[in-house]
Chains A and B, each alone.
Chain A
């Protein structure tokens, strides 16, 4: 049955955030005085008016069933008049005004399997990408590795015993939808084999000049294959960035040999030290589903060495800067290889051009 044609609504933007703020926030907007973490996973914000807001932070796996969102809605109804928010790192926060409801809310969340924590000097949720669940260019799974790493680092989520906060991020390829390049520990999916060109589909699927110019190193060149226009890959020049694949689906880079790399020492906050990029620690670990034992072991090792050696307030990158990279590789027992030395644009900026280093670190 034909419905009367309704006017199509477009370009209205999101609903105003003001619709969703609890009364205590509306009242104290811009008037907060200070905050304290009263226990792991619970923030108390105190307003100039003396009002107190308790935020209980629980982990989510980011990928959430509508039934789980409904569960959070129900918990919000039960403990906080229906008000909640999500954080930039995929945690959910229940906004409680009645202090007596804090503990029951925590108990309920834990019972349902959503642990409370991730505040202060802890390891909070890992921001991550889609991986094999939904991505075309994933060199590894995302959610699965995150799950395994957090299972192992779980005590650090529920406590605040690290020298400083430790942020882990995960991206399943160099596109870095998770922009992981400024994290204390970054896990990054990598391709290690040159792409395979499907010459049959390429002329229909891809625009050759765009594909050629997509390559940052000039490794993609025009070619004629069986009388048809196509491209070829100069394999020695390929650095496996997958940019050609993004503009041309006929150039396939995904390969069972794909794996992961580990990067350390990045940060985005300005506290004590300017923001820093993460630097390469481990160039390649093969994909080991379903539980990724080597990645898990490697990350845990880095976390434990950091926890043991860093000073109070020192983020991973600050600690490494203080002790020097040779010492980092010595303490973590991670082998230093030719892959650790940059050879892309501006590579020379990271070469040491002085004798300003600790000779004691030089071992046979």
Chain B
């Protein structure tokens, strides 16, 4: 495999996914995690890395948590 998958790489890929699904489907933390493990492969990306990536996305303000009968990760309101 090529370069090492970093937290930022995963965060970027997650952000693209949240953008892509915006207005279509709300994604939960586990939806993003499963998709990333699929995308980067289990050897390069695990649940812990995804957790860090989600934290980076949220702490940077690029994404935010939303609650509608369950907790989702969405784009911040404009």
Bound complex: CA A184 to CA B31 (Å): 42
Q: Assess whether B77 is interfacial by the CB under 8 Å rule.
A: no
Q: Is A248 an interface residue (CB 8 A)?
A: yes
Q: Nearest chain A CB to B49's CB is how many angstroms away?
A: 20
Contact assessment for A247 and B70 in the assembled complex, using a CB-CB cutoff below 8 Å: yes
- The docked-state distance in angstroms from the alpha carbon of A226 to that of B6 is 47
Task: Compute how far the CA of A246 lies from the CA of B70 in the bound complex, rounded to whole angstroms.
Answer: 9
Instruction: Give the shortest distance, in Å, between B23 (CB) and chain A (any CB).
Output: 8
* Interface status of A207 (Cβ within 8 A of chain B): yes
Q: Is B52 an interface residue (CB 8 A)?
A: no
Cβ contacts A265-294/B at 8 Å (1 or 0 each): 000000000000000000000000000000
Q: Which residues of A contact B26 (CB under 8 A)?
A: 207, 210
Which residues of B have CB within 8 Å of A209?
25
Looking at chain B's contact residues, the main secondary structure is loop
Residue interface mask B45-74, A partner, CB < 8 A = 1: 000000000000000000000001110000
Most A Cβ at <10 Å: residue of B26, B68, B70: B68
How far apart are A207's CB and chain B's nearest CB, in angstroms? 6
Q: List the A residue with the shortest CB-CB distance to B72.
A: A207
Interface residues on A, range: 10 to 19
Cβ contact within 8 Å between A207 and B25: yes
Taken together as a complex, chains A and B put the C-alpha atoms of A273 and B40 apart, in Å, by 54
Please, which residues of chain B bring their CB within 8 A of the CB of A25? none
- Contacting A at CB under 8 A, from B4-60, are 25-26
What is the bound-complex CA distance between A210 and B27, given in angstroms?
11
Residues from chain A with Cβ under 8 Å of B25 in the complex: 207, 209
Q: Is A214 an interface residue (CB 8 A)?
A: yes
Contacts of A207 in B (CB 8 A): 25-26, 68
A206 to B69, CA, bound (A): 11
Chain A 307-346, CB-CB to B under 8 Å as 1, else 0, gives 0000000000000000000000000000000000000000
Instruction: Give residues 218-233 of A contacting B (CB, 8 Å).
Output: none
B68 contact set on A, CB distance < 8 A: 206-207, 210, 247-249
Binary contact track A136-176/B, C-beta < 8 Å → 1, others 0: 00000000000000000000000000000000000000000
B interface footprint on A228-255 (CB within 8 Å = 1, 0 otherwise): 0000000000000001001111000000
A69 → chain B, closest Cβ, in Å?
28
Q: Which residues of B contact A247 (CB under 8 A)?
A: 68-70
Docked Cα-Cα span, A246 to B68, in Å, equals 7
User: Chain A residue with minimal CB distance to B24?
Assistant: A207
**Chain B residues at the A interface, C-beta cutoff of 8 Å:** 25-26, 68-70
Chosen A-B contacts, 18 in total, with CB atoms closer than 8 Å, are A206-B68, A207-B25, A207-B26, A207-B68, A209-B25, A210-B26, A210-B68, A210-B69, A210-B70, A214-B69, A243-B69, A246-B69, A247-B68, A247-B69, A247-B70, A248-B68, A248-B69, A249-B68
Give 10 closest A-B pairs by Cβ, nearest first: A247-B69, A246-B69, A207-B26, A247-B68, A207-B25, A214-B69, A247-B70, A210-B26, A248-B68, A209-B25
